[in-house]
Amino acid sequence: MQDSLRRFKAEIFQALAHPTRIAIVELLRDQGEVPVSSIHEKLALEQANVSQHLAVLRGKHIVVGRKEGNQVFYSLRDRILGKVLDLMRQFFQNHLREALDLLNDMKTEAAPAR
Amino acid sequence: MQDSLRRFKAEIFQALAHPTRIAIVELLRDQGEVPVSSIHEKLALEQANVSQHLAVLRGKHIVVGRKEGNQVFYSLRDRILGKVLDLMRQFFQNHLREALDLLNDMKTEAAPAR
DNA sequence: CGACAATATTCGAAATATCGCATATACTGG
DNA sequence: CCAGTATATGCGATATTTCGAATATTGTCG
Q: How far, in Å, CA of B54 to CA of A71, rounded?
A: 45
What residues form DSSP beta bridges with B28?
none
Length A36 CA → D11 C1' (Å): 44
Distance separating alpha carbons of residues B69 and B48, to the nearest angstrom: 20
The domain defined by A2-77 folds into: Arc Repressor Mutant, subunit A (1.10.10)
Nearest nucleotide (C1') to alpha carbon of A52: C8
Q: Which residues are CB-neighbours of A90 under 8 A, at least 6 positions away?
A: B80
* Residue-by-residue pLDDT tens, chain B, 114 positions: 577 889 989 999 999 999 999 999 999 999 999 999 999 999 999 999 999 999 999 999 999 999 999 999 999 999 898 888 888 888 888 877 666 665 565 554 333 333
The domain spans of chain A are 2-77
| Nearest residue in A to B13, CA atom | A17
Q: Helices (DSSP H) in chain A: which residue ranges?
A: 2-16, 19-31, 36-42, 47-59, 79-94, 96-106
Nearest residue: Cα versus C1' of C19:
B49
Say whether A17 and B19 touch across the interface (CB within 8 A): no
What is the per-residue pLDDT across A4-59, written as a single tens digit (0 to 9) for each?
889 989 999 999 999 999 999 999 999 999 999 999 999 999 999 999 999 999 99
Rounded Cα distance, B85 and A13, in Å: 10
B99 touches chain A (CB under 8 A): yes
